[in-house]
Structure 1
Amino acid sequence: MRDRIFEVDSWREKQRFTREQVRDEIRALKEEKNATELHLESLQLPFMVVSQCLSNRDQRVPPELTRDQLGEELRKEEHTIENSKRVLTDVCHMGWEKIKELTNVICRLEREIQNKDDALVLEYHVKDLNRNSSDISYKLDPTRIPPDSMSEESYVHCIENTVKIAEQLMKESKHLREIMFKSREQARNQMYAQSQQVEMIMRRRIYDIQRARNEMEWQKYKLEGNLQKVDREIETLRAAVADKINPTKLVETRLETRMRRPVLERVQDKPMRGLIEEYERVHMSSSMLEKKLEEALSTYHGLYNHHQRVTKDLEYKNQALETDRRLIEIRKPLHRDDDSDFKRNVGYCHMPAELVTD
């Protein structure tokens, strides 16, 4: 009896120890699961920021609404966040399933421990009985085998099986905790790397647009100067053409008046030849001035149309620049107050006073 009591008590202590180990593992797994859920919840802000960045860039006008590298990197960042959310959601669900399995094995251990407690109470009672005990009596068929009885080997196998199941579940739980930690760190590293890539492409994009905008502004300035120069030239040519009107009228009037001379006086004399030469000279000069005026007007209209196109393109470029600049303000919640990277991004673009404010 003493050996049996010792054996049952030993198994009970082992199961109690295993139960405490399982409880500790459940506690550790819950902490890891809570940390993973918190990280999963923290991904909502970056996802909203990236979605807002993509929506903001969709507001660009059609000439600037192109598939560029910044858009591709933003979509890649969105995909990275979605993939991280999916992975973390899966491991959280796996953690919930594993906690449920560990809870079930704890219930099984507690039930078996309670059975052993009850069995030990009976064993101690049987051990303490003697021939002088008051509660001894004759029994009907005391050697019968109770129903659902098992052999000693089956009994030991059942206990060992429960312990093995608990140990296997704890091993799986530990591996799952490592997966949770690895998934969180991997998600954090991937998001940081992609965020840095987006910041770099955004700086380059803003710099390129600023450079193109500045070139357009210089081109517009030069066009305006050329327009003023051609306009002054047109005014000068118009004045010159106007100055040729009276000389033309004069020479034509002189020629026409001399044609009214008497027949015998209509001599092609030297004054006649001089007036004809003057007429040809005045008309040639007027024709040249009118041709130059026409060419100047054509040049002016061409410059004016080009100026209008440059002005329109400059408006589109400014709108695109303002749109991409707004991304810096939109992405500001992703940076800490003392984030030197964000300050460096602003410094690279030379626009600390140009940020969009609320």
Structure 2
Amino acid sequence: MELLGSTLTTTYARPKTSHFLPAISTMASSYRNTQPALLRSPSANMWRTNSYYKSSSALPLTSSTQRDHFDLVRANTTFYPSNRTLLTNRYTPDDWYKSNHSNYRESESSRKSAERLRKDTIRLMQDKEQLTRRTQENTSKNIAERVNDIVFWRSELSHEIDNMVTETAALSDVKKRLERALAETEGPLKVSQECLYHREKRMSIDLVRDDVEKDLIKEVEVIKSCQERMRRHLDRAIAQLASNRAAQHELEKDMSDKVSAQRIDDRCHHLRNTSDGIGYYRGIDRIDHSVSLPDTWSKFTDDNILHSQSERANSHKLRDEIEILLNTTSNEMWNQFNNANVAFTNRISETADAKNNLQAHLAKTLQEIFQTEMLIESLKKALRDKENPLKVAQTRLEERTRRPNVELCRDNPHHWLVGEVREIEDTIQKLQERLMEAENALQILVKTKVTLEHDLSIKAHSLFLDQEKCMGMRKSFPSLPRLVGYT
């Protein structure tokens, strides 16, 4: 507030501790109603001296001169208490009450806000605690359900493993019977071949192919056919046993995994907030090592069980087929043996044509063996010729992988090189397959050659040896129980 006629200015600093004091404009409005009227009234100017009025027309003073001038005015001027109070006070009692009430409201508001924050925070902590407890309980419940699922599938796996073990043992027993029956056919086969061998010693007109020889050949064929079927079923039994063991291995592996998973989930289910061994694993929730989903997890075990059941069904079917095969082959061999013994009483000679035919087949077989061997050598040479082109193509691909930065482009040469490598590899695979087929054909030809040579040798015997040697050898023929593999 400034005094009229003076450049002296009095300033007041607002307290920083409270921002609820009324604004300057409000206080100014309260002063307008009182002070201006007093200063403009004649009675208000009675105490002002002439020297004071003269100083109002002077130039603005500095701070030091202002103090000296003001002291001079005070010395020469008599102030009244009411006027002195009017000049020094800035706020009114109304302002003072308003300030107090404002402080009271601020205090009450801040206390209410703090109380509301405190209650909200306590309620939040309680809600979060309940939420954490419920979430942990739900997690424990889910882990328990997971353990129950594992226990269920473990029981299914255990039951299927027991069934598979039983089926594998049964198939193994039938396989042993089949092996014994196959071994028993070697004796009758050798007897028939020896009979044919002795009959080849017949001379001149006796060197004929009679009904005895036909029955002997048929007997050999029947026995070989039975052997072939037995071997085929034996191979199937061996393969089926391998499949059974593989399926059992998968079941046992799945069982082992589920045992480990159940142990881990049991430990997790029994973990509590007070348990030992718990700790922080930062970022573990952002790492997902999962390899399956619940559907794929159950489907994996279900597929293993279904696969095992399928293998068990195939094994059971194979066992039935082997049983039927053993009965069929024993009857066929025994019937043919009786027919050959009856035919021995009616000798006729037709050995020459059979011998010529066998020799022709043997020559063709030998020629085919020679050609097959040449083919095998050609295939091996062709495979060796493909090694260097494959090395070149693969080396080019490997060298081009060293191109820097953007030069490592999947361009046309890259596509051509990849196509070349795959084409050469496909060619090598086809040649290897053809080589394997040729080697298998060679083995079959060699086996056929041996059979033909053996048949030619037994047909060179003389007819007069039929009664002494052939019939003497044919007195011992396996019984039916031995032909079905029981003894």
Q: 2:472 aligns with which of 326, 329, 338?
A: 329
Corresponding residue for residue 338 of structure 2: 196
| 1:62 correspondence with 2:204 | yes
* Paired residue type of 2:157: Q
| Aligned-pair Cα RMSD in Å | 1.9
| 1:184 positional shift | 1.4
Per-residue deviation, residues 96-125 of structure 1 (Å, max 9, x unmatched): 111111111111111111111111111111
Q: Is the 8 A contact 1:80 1:191 kept in 2?
A: yes
Corresponding residue for residue 139 of structure 1: 281
Corresponding residue for residue 404 of structure 2: none
* Paired residue type of 1:11: W
Q: 1:8 aligns with which of 150, 164, 171?
A: 150
Q: Distance in 2 between matches of 1:335 and 1:17?
A: 42
3-state DSSP of counterpart to 1:49: helix
Identity of aligned residues (%): 19
| 1:139 positional shift | 2.7
Q: 2:246 aligns with which of 85, 97, 104?
A: 104
**Which structure has more helix as a fraction of its residues?**
1
User: Judging changes above 3 Å, is the alpha-carbon distance between structure 1 residues 24 and 145 closer, same or farther for their aligned structure 2 residues?
Assistant: farther
Q: Distance in 2 between matches of 1:122 and 1:323?
A: 79
Per-residue deviation, residues 64-106 of structure 1 (Å, max 9, x unmatched): 1111111111111011011111111111111111111111111
3-state DSSP of counterpart to 2:286: coil
After TM superposition, the structure 1 = structure 2 runs for residues 45-194 of structure 1, keeping only pairs within 5 Å, are 45-194=187-336
Per-residue deviation, residues 281-338 of structure 1 (Å, max 9, x unmatched): xxxxxxxxxxxxxxxxxxxxxxxxxxxxxxxxxxxxxx845533532211112167xx
* Paired residue type of 2:221: H
Q: Distance in 1 between matches of 2:200 and 2:331?
A: 28
Q: 2:169 aligns with which of 12, 27, 39?
A: 27
Q: Distance in 2 between matches of 1:101 and 1:335?
A: 33
Q: Is the 8 A contact 2:192 2:219 kept in 1?
A: yes
| 1:205 positional shift | 4.1
| 1:135 positional shift | 2.2
- TM superposition score normalised by structure 2: 0.44
3-state DSSP of counterpart to 2:181: helix
* Paired residue type of 2:271: L
- Matched residue pairs, number? 224
- TM superposition score normalised by structure 1: 0.59
Q: Distance in 2 between matches of 1:42 and 1:132?
A: 73
Larger Rg: 2
Q: Distance in 1 between matches of 2:295 and 2:465?
A: 80
Q: Is the 8 A contact 2:195 2:466 kept in 1?
A: no
Q: Is the 8 A contact 1:57 1:324 kept in 2?
A: no
* Paired residue type of 2:288: P
Q: Is the 8 A contact 2:189 2:220 kept in 1?
A: yes
| 1:138 positional shift | 2.8
Which 5+ residue runs of structure 1 have no aligned equivalent? 207-318, 337-358
User: Judging changes above 3 Å, is the alpha-carbon distance between structure 1 residues 131 and 320 closer, same or farther for their aligned structure 2 residues?
Assistant: closer
Q: Distance in 1 between matches of 2:287 and 2:253?
A: 23
Corresponding residue for residue 361 of structure 2: none
Per-residue deviation, residues 139-194 of structure 1 (Å, max 9, x unmatched): 31343352243111111111111111111111111111112111111110100110
* Paired residue type of 2:469: R
Q: Distance in 2 between matches of 1:50 and 1:59?
A: 15
Q: Distance in 2 between matches of 1:189 and 1:156?
A: 49
Q: Distance in 2 between matches of 1:104 and 1:40?
A: 26
3-state DSSP of counterpart to 2:209: coil
